[in-house]
Chains A and B, each alone.
Chain A
Amino acid sequence: MTERAATPPPGPAPAPDRASGEGPGALWLLTLARVRLFYREPSTLFWTFIFPVLLTVALGIAFRSRPPEPVAIGVVAGPGAAEARSALTGQPDVKVTVLDEAAARAALRTGRVAVVVVPGASPVLRFDPTRPESRLARVVADDLLERAAGRRDVLTPRQDTVTEAGSRYVDFLIPGLLGMNIMSTGLWGIGWVIAELRQKKLLKRLAATPMRRWHFLFSFAVVRLLFLAVEVPFLIGFGMLVFGTPFQGSALALALLALLGAAAFSGLGLLIASRASNQQTVGGLINLVLLPMMILSGVFFSSANFPDVMQPLVKALPLTALNEGMRAVLNDGASLAAVAPQCLLLLGTALVSFAVALRIFRWS
């Protein structure tokens, strides 16, 4: 055995070795692989691009700003009903219906009318003070009846109607959905994918090659960045075109926020997936991080709704920082300096999560 090892190998000379550096580099091919895996998997395309748009459309339609609702007034049939009716009609934003007693009660209860007028020498206004539109309708009905009865106004203020840009629900919603999208693509796109690679022992197989570990991780970062550059303008552009949502502030500030947000959530995704050998475990952990933030961080409704004791917690969440920052830039025209605290929080999250994840990362 020693002899045979000492003799030079028989047979034809080995094929000449390829010169080093020939062909595309490892970093490039690893990145290309990730891009290919992305677009060859239609479901990831759907969740990244189509789903947020569908969600925006659905919610945008459901909560669209309607033209002002007419004030619905019911009049109980009987003596004086005709006079009351003519006193109340004639206004463009008032709708009057004459109903018998039982129907009037039912209409008030179900909200088809907001106030019921019982005509007579001393008319009665029946309304529900817990409902804002009912209180409004009482004032309107009272005003019209008084005027018809001969009241003279002493002061007639000029009316000046405005609609603030960025105050509609869809304006609130788009930055929130954008934040949520950056969060879920970071957590799922990094965490879930790495868990899958570990479970399939593909991480182990790659670790058995001379692959530079940072090339592998960097390929994920490059691809995240690439898709961020599509994802963010796509959703904002969609909002601007279809719903006329505003973009008041600095584009640079928005880009920085998106970048830092993506880094923070990619870092968290990597951290979650750094040791677990089971993909289901990682899926559960991701949801554990993702769902509370979706509720607390002001995606669908303002986080100001939570009580004061919870605010320090809410404010410390990276998604809150991302959402607040992007809302400030898009809707309120905030500058880069104004969103610096949010940027710092995201940067801190990214640095800490990456540092810990890389320390404890397991390849097999």
Chain B
Amino acid sequence: MPDLAIRCRGLVKRYPPAVTAVDGLDLEVARGECFGLLGPNGAGKTTTVEILEGLLAPSGGEVEVLGRRWGEDAAGLRERIGLTLQETHLYEKLTARELVQLFRALYRRGRDVDEVLRMVSLEEKASSWYERLSGGQKQRLAVAVALVGDPELLFLDEPTTGLDPQSRRQLWDVVTELKRRGKTVLLTTHYMDEAERLCDRVAIVDHGKVIALGTPRALVAAHVGQEIVEFQLDGAADGDEAAFAALPAVQAVRRVAGGWQLVTDQVHLAIPALLGSLTARGQAAVALSTHRATLEDVFVTLTGRRLRD
């Protein structure tokens, strides 16, 4: 039996009368793995994570965290996990250091308070009241508070949303360092580059279900080609899908908001062919661009929608 940090089967969460936030979700996360949950707003990521954290009771399904169930040994499990909520407020009138100290004291074992503050670059703000920290600093403090119990398993719900590029990169370093120390990380994110960079595997969640699972590279290879050519047609002209699909080296054609996407593995053949075909019909392409296929393209392929609208 593989050594799993998280295992859940057929997870369901209903909010009567009408909402099914999580709809039969299966997940296995190995120890030492960094796992990403991706999905649009309202997909059920936060709900799933909070069930795994033992903060919400599921309406159905099984959950095992670090080999235990929440009903068996909640207190023991809490010693071994750390987490950030999607939205964190801490005591407004305590300083950053006082807050980390307080949370440190709640765990039997943990890390040094100043070391944790240093990891999220808040040494200089250690004596500032929480209410006087900027939004990004508050978020980093939430991560510090999640780390101070030295968890084996860390849950981060959108840890980098709203951070500046430098702080994001810093947080990536924190996660990389945890991975190096053999810790397990489960994070949710809307940033594809983040998932591709940090996560060993990702699950794409939509309407409360996992619709794709694998390493970022494998998902891209399986669901989209190598390169994407994107363009719009000038004026009111309408494109001919069959004609695009017949172009050399084009593997798939998709209509996306306001334009077209061609999936190809040979851009240098596809683009001249496309332009030639358009000129022959008296049409012109505007906003022509190409990019390497990403998880975002996987998402668009799978759902016909964009991740962030």
Q: How many A-B contacts are there with CB distance less than 8 Å?
A: 114
Binding site for B on A (CB under 8 A): 1-2, 4-11, 14-15, 17-21, 23-26, 28-30, 33, 36-37, 40-41, 200-202, 204-211, 364
Which A residue sits closest to B83, measured CB to CB? A208
With A33-B94, A210-B75 already in contact, the answer to whether A5 and B30 are too (CB < 8 A) is yes
Determine the chain A residues whose CB is within 8 A of the CB of B33 once the complex forms: 1, 4-5
Determine the chain B residues whose CB is within 8 A of the CB of A30 once the complex forms: 102, 105
- Chain B nearest CB from A208 CB (Å) reads 6
Q: In terms of DSSP, what is the predominant structure of the interface of chain B?
A: loop
- Chain B nearest CB from A51 CB (Å) reads 20
The B174-204 residues at the A interface (CB cut-off 8 A) are 180-183, 200-201
Determine the chain A residues whose CB is within 8 A of the CB of B105 once the complex forms: 23-26, 28-30
Binding site for A on B (CB under 8 A): 2-4, 30-33, 53-56, 75, 78-79, 81, 83, 85, 87-91, 93-94, 98, 101-112, 115, 129, 145, 149-150, 180-183, 200-201
In the bound complex, how far is the Cα of B22 from the Cα of A165, in angstroms? 71
Determine the chain A residues whose CB is within 8 A of the CB of B30 once the complex forms: 1-2, 4-5
- Chain A nearest CB from B101 CB (Å) reads 6
Determine the chain A residues whose CB is within 8 A of the CB of B54 once the complex forms: 208
In the bound complex, how far is the Cα of B185 from the Cα of A9, in angstroms? 14
In the bound complex, how far is the Cα of B181 from the Cα of A300, in angstroms? 66
- Chain B nearest CB from A121 CB (Å) reads 82
With A201-B88, A204-B55 already in contact, the answer to whether A37 and B93 are too (CB < 8 A) is yes
Residue of A9, A19, A41, A210 near B106 (CB, 8 A) is A210
Residue of B55, B93, B181 near A40 (CB, 8 A) is B93
- Chain B nearest CB from A223 CB (Å) reads 14
Other A-B pairs, 18, CB within 8 Å; known A205-B90, A205-B145: A4-B33, A5-B30, A9-B181, A11-B180, A15-B112, A18-B109, A18-B111, A19-B109, A21-B108, A24-B101, A29-B102, A33-B91, A201-B87, A204-B55, A204-B85, A208-B53, A210-B75, A210-B106
Determine the chain A residues whose CB is within 8 A of the CB of B55 once the complex forms: 204, 207-208, 364
**B112–A18 contact, CB under 8 A?**
yes
In the bound complex, how far is the Cα of B54 from the Cα of A92, in angstroms? 83
In the bound complex, how far is the Cα of B107 from the Cα of A40, in angstroms? 26
With A9-B32, A209-B107 already in contact, the answer to whether A1 and B201 are too (CB < 8 A) is yes
- Chain A nearest CB from B17 CB (Å) reads 19
Which A residue sits closest to B129, measured CB to CB? A40
